[in-house]
Amino acid sequence: MWLQPVIPSLTCSILVREMSLNFVPGSEVAQIYRALQAKENYYCNFGVNPDVVPLLKKGPMQVVGSDNEGEIRILELPDHPFFVATPSCA
């Protein structure tokens, strides 16, 4: 059986880094921000494991936000009234 963490600890933490985020049009987060881009400060110790991204994209959860480097920053669960996740920060 293949077991890997979905959101493992990063090898180095991102300490107070401002990042530009890009949102998928029509996503809940784009509606909340009323924009397709935003800048946010990150204090990160965790990130989405790149090996599980294909599996995430096959399931009901949707990747709706990423940084300029293409790293996943925001996930949503469609048909749920308020599920928005930012898995890369803790």
Q: For residue 65, give the nearest of 19, 39, 29 by alpha carbon.
A: 29
Question: Tokens representing 3?
Answer: 């077991």
Q: Which pLDDT belongs to residue 8? A: 66
Q: Do 37 and 30 form a contact (C-beta atoms < 8 A)?
A: no
Helix count (H) and strand count (E) of the chain? Answer: 2, 5
Report the chain's C-alpha Rg in angstroms. Answer: 13
Per-residue pLDDT of the chain (90 residues; tens, 9 = 90+): 467 777 766 655 556 678 899 999 999 999 999 999 999 877 766 777 888 888 888 888 888 999 888 888 888 988 887 888 775 444
